[in-house]
Chains A and B, each alone.
Chain A
């Protein structure tokens, strides 16, 4: 994990059990809810034409023009090891702004922005093993639903 990734993940994982709140952007992916810290998300944009870049890993879908900036878009499903889905117009691109780079993530849809209390957040369940566990920093329970909290700096680190 890079230094910034550690910094960012410890920040979001701060003091479980305390009364503090964290604000999450929640999106859909393969029927499950995933959450990332709102300040790591720059904006959500509709799916648009993605220009494929040859000779790059499969999970990099290509680049898009974000108001004059060229930014890469990844398939978050394939990055997290979920089955890849045919593209459809309901899909959105969540643009993540990390210290090192801005990256678009293709998600199935965006559900909402919500606040969860720190005491609603639990560490990742131990049955999450393999590549997936390192991308998850915890699970939040909110009104009977489970939201998987992603360690975005880790998900978007390029050490494939």
Chain B
């Protein structure tokens, strides 16, 4: 399948759709909690309307249909003909899920097989229900016939027209969804009706129509001296536009002259003030949005690379200036060294700014969770409040992308295993509603993300028993384990304490995957738990993936970087200190037996080593295990900018990327998780 749209437009559409869907999800969730909120409702309606408009423009019929039906429901909510309830929220969420799939369909150009009928029926049912409920209170047509759904200012115009002896008709139009130029059609309708009378109000407004901001629905209020039949004929004269509804507005009572009523001016004043405030808010929003631009991440990456080049040149320039001033020492040499040091400062600032441009608030990620928590809590019959803090904390966007899945898993666990059922909580003297906290904060040069629940905590005995049963530890080993060791069992591959396999935990993703994902980001994870009080997971992440602190080591004539977060210490070892267990070389460091990995051999680089009395060993930690890496020599610590090896080389076991050192040479960065994957297990 294909759409007649340029790739750039498509990208814009997809990004916009993403935003609107996310916005809808957040706001619907808020609405469920708030019950009724005018502003939220308007926002939700607008987002759905935008989606409908753009999907229709794109020619995606199913998306347009679905959003149109959603809009119907939202319209009823907005007009207070329906009250929000969890059924409506569930159906709306289902719609959003389908919209996401449809969006994917547009992105990939591959039709997805999804059944939309169920959800369309649900929407229809909700609308019908709303209509039914409304009958008792006063039907929709009646409200509209009285113009009660109109803005007071418009209502004033309507009543003035009626007072002037004109008739005011409320006309509704549908523009054919296949129309190539809906805005032109809408404009034609406006023009032809304008000839017959005065257009009091139109939705979209004339200026919106001129800017082509047109959906498929048009509403026009026409004040005219013509009879209904004549108006109907004019209204039906534009091709591709169908008159879907028409009624005369009859105001219930004669319009009250403002001067005669003491309350009236005040009311008008309030309305004016309110609309002025609204306009101001809209203006400031517009101003704010115009101060930001969308930038492709690739552009940022390129900028980062270019700055990298500058950094290297800056080094050279300083060197040249130094040499020159030694040889010459004249004014020119001094000039050069001043200029080069200025370039140095500017480059550093530039680098920082670009790093900042890559940072995003974690909010972008966190806001995806409330919906998930709500759905999960519902399906588990648990009552849970999600508290989010520190969502303004900024992280490199690549870290944000990678941390989503691990966090989702931790939150799922908190709900599935952590928080008890309401009855259990009451019995334990806790509040019936469980609390899950998701918090981001700064800590030195890292970001800490905390997931904490006030549930039952982790049961050490149960954990140990399970590990024994699964054969992950031996009876003897289990006796020697302290609490910390036991807790770490959670991260062992193939471990799961679920007694019954639920829909949620049956996904085959374990805590081991969570930990390895975090370690791949050069981060770490820590658990704290207290029986009956709850469990806390603390994830520590680097601010950015682009720059790390590294320990530089040499072997086989090359310099390699080892991420400093994983380095415990460096020691020197003599050949006599090396023992062999089951064909694996080991060393004993502070009473612990560690596998010794000879890096030359591991990487297949000149396996022949010089016979030496002592050689340096870097002790690294990965999860619960420690390893010793034998290298030729230690170089030192340095901050390095990580660069990818590129798509051509692809993933290489043991190497996560490369960096360019001050002298312009390339140093490879060692990836401990993939290097140590098959060792010592």
Q: Taking beta carbons and an 8 Å cutoff, which residues of A are in contact with B?
A: 49, 51-56, 60, 63-65, 67-72, 100-103, 156, 158
Contact = CB atoms under 8 A, between A and B. Distances in A.
Contacts of B655: 53-55
A133 to B, nearest CB: 23
A55 B308 contact: no
A32 B310 CA distance: 39
A33 B643 CA distance: 35
Interface stretch (B225-233, B333-341, B661-669): B661-669
Interface string B637-660: 000000111111110111101101
Nearest to B644: A70
A101 B646 CA distance: 7
A83 to B, nearest CB: 23
A71 B605 contact: no
Nearest to A100: B647
Given A63-B649, A70-B643, A55 B660 contact: no
Nearest to A74: B648
B530 to A, nearest CB: 45
Contacts of B605: 52, 54
B585 interface: no
A60 B647 CA distance: 13
Given A52-B558, A65-B665, A72 B648 contact: yes
Contact of B666 (A67, A70, A103): A70
B658 A158 contact: no
A70 B652 contact: no
Nearest to B557: A52
A68 B306 contact: yes
B383 to A, nearest CB: 51
A56 B652 contact: yes
Given A53-B655, A68-B306, A63 B647 contact: no
Q: Would you list the 4 A-B pairs with minimal beta carbon distance, nearest first?
A: A68-B309, A54-B603, A68-B308, A51-B666
Contacts of B667: 51
A69 B667 CA distance: 13
Contacts of A158: 648, 650
B604 interface: yes
B558 A68 contact: no
A103 to B, nearest CB: 5
Given A56-B649, A65-B312, 17 more contacts: A51-B558, A51-B666, A53-B645, A53-B649, A53-B655, A55-B653, A55-B655, A63-B666, A64-B666, A65-B660, A65-B665, A67-B309, A70-B646, A72-B646, A100-B648, A101-B648, A158-B648
A102 B603 CA distance: 25
A123 B667 CA distance: 44
Contacts of A100: 647-648
Interface of B: 305-306, 308-312, 558, 603-605, 643-650, 652-655, 657-658, 660, 664-668
A68 B667 CA distance: 13
Contacts of B305: 68-69
B665 to A, nearest CB: 7
B649 to A, nearest CB: 5
A87 to B, nearest CB: 15
Contacts of A51: 558, 658, 665-668
B665 A60 contact: no
Contacts of B652: 53-56
25 contacts: A51-B658, A51-B666, A52-B605, A53-B655, A55-B654, A55-B655, A56-B649, A56-B652, A63-B645, A63-B658, A65-B660, A68-B306, A68-B311, A68-B312, A68-B660, A70-B645, A70-B646, A70-B658, A70-B660, A72-B649, A100-B647, A100-B648, A101-B646, A101-B648, A102-B646
B598 to A, nearest CB: 13
A101 B647 contact: yes
B441 to A, nearest CB: 34
Most buried by B among A64, A65, A156: A65
Nearest to A67: B309
Contacts of B558: 51-52
Nearest to B643: A70
A54 B665 CA distance: 17
A60 B310 CA distance: 28
B668 to A, nearest CB: 6
Given A49-B665, A51-B658, A54-B655, A71 B309 contact: no
A121 B309 CA distance: 41
Given A51-B665, A52-B558, A68-B309, A60 B658 contact: no
B648 A103 contact: yes
Contacts of A101: 646-648
Contacts of A69: 305, 309, 643
B550 to A, nearest CB: 16
A7 B250 CA distance: 67
Contacts of B604: 54-55
Nearest to B600: A54
Contacts of A49: 665
Contacts of A103: 648
Most buried by B among A49, A54, A103, A156: A54
Nearest to A57: B649
A156 B310 CA distance: 30
B646 A65 contact: no
A67 B660 CA distance: 10
Nearest to B312: A68
Nearest to B558: A51
A64 B668 CA distance: 11
Nearest to A60: B649
Contacts of B664: 65
A95 to B, nearest CB: 12
B307 to A, nearest CB: 8
Nearest to B308: A68
Contacts of A102: 646
A60 to B, nearest CB: 6
Contacts of B646: 70-72, 101-102
A156 B308 contact: no
A148 to B, nearest CB: 23
B343 to A, nearest CB: 15
A158 to B, nearest CB: 6
A60 B652 CA distance: 12
A68 B646 CA distance: 13
A66 to B, nearest CB: 9
B300 to A, nearest CB: 15
Contacts of A65: 312, 660, 664-666
Most buried by A among B310, B644, B648, B657: B648
